[in-house]
Amino acid sequence: MRITLIVLGVLLALGVVAAAVLYTPDKPRTALEARWAGPPSRFEEVAGLRLHIRDTGPREAPAVILLHGFGASLHTWDDWAAGMEASLRVIRLDLPGFGLTGPDPTGDYSDARSIAVIAALMDRLGLARASLVGTSMGGRIAWAFAAAHPDRVAKLVLMAPDGYASPGLTYGRAPRVPLMARLLPYVLPRALLRQTLAAAYADPSRMTEAALDRYADMLLAPGVRRAVLDRMGAHVLVPPEPLLARITAPVLLVWGERDGMVPATNAADYQRALRESRLVVFPNIGHVPQEEDPAGTLPPVLDFLTGR
């Protein structure tokens, strides 16, 4: 018994030491905003949120709204936005629960809430209509918005969009958040984050230290890691076909041929469900074309958005 107590005491002490070593607190908002929210960033009060946005390009040009993926921020679009701004009004935002927008005071991380926020942002900016570009989770929100507000969407670009149930997931039921994921609000090992992000690239060597720093900082913004968990636990997939059938805007589907997260073969599901779509597949590109090869992947997207 004495030996057992000693062993338990040692294990508890090791656990406390490990927790102290691995514990990663949130970073101060003021420091993060000083580093990541310089011009042209600004904050708009929209639908009860202090929304971090960037709004660049000619005000009289056709507008496009860029929606990032899970765990990302508006910065994922930096290179593409720079290439679009000559011919389009380019609007980017940190979606609720992410980046410098941070947690939603409502605690609602449903797609319906994101759709309401985007519609309110368009109203705030005086936009009756815009094109939407969304990647992964942002792609799902983009097509859900286009289904809910077909009159407000001119064109739609879906980049490896989420929405169909992958193996192990079912429609109509919230997923179980893995036990290890529940540690996210307390720890953020850089090596694990690097491994996770590298999996989004066909060529992981293209992932820069600057990008890793940015993703880490956005996750360490106050309350974001808890919001990420809340979103994971609250999201309920619905069968996408009835919603996709409502979309009237022309759609460009974009995939990286070597996407290991949402395989390019999933494009066929969308092509069957959508009224009007075409597909571009980039060879030797993974899940984040806008980051892995921005110069090589932007042209067909820009042609689609600016073409008649």
292, 212 contact by CB (below 8 A): no
Structural domain spans, the chain: 26-306
Interhelix angle 209-219/224-234, rounded to 10 degrees, is: 80
Find the helix or strand (DSSP H, E) in which 214 lies.
Answer: helix 209-219
CA atoms of 33 and 42, how far apart (whole Å):
10
Domain 26-306 has CATH 3.40.50.1820: yes
CA atoms of 155 and 26, how far apart (whole Å):
38
pLDDT in tens, the chain (308 residues): 333 333 333 323 333 333 445 799 999 999 999 999 999 999 999 999 999 999 999 999 999 999 999 999 999 999 999 999 999 999 999 999 999 999 999 999 999 999 999 999 999 999 999 999 999 999 999 999 999 999 999 999 999 999 998 776 778 787 777 877 889 999 999 999 999 999 999 999 999 999 999 999 999 999 999 999 999 888 888 899 999 999 999 999 999 999 999 999 999 999 999 999 999 999 999 999 999 999 999 999 999 999 96
Considering the entire predicted model, what is its pTM? 0.92
CA atoms of 47 and 260, how far apart (whole Å):
35
β partners of residue 65 = 91, 132
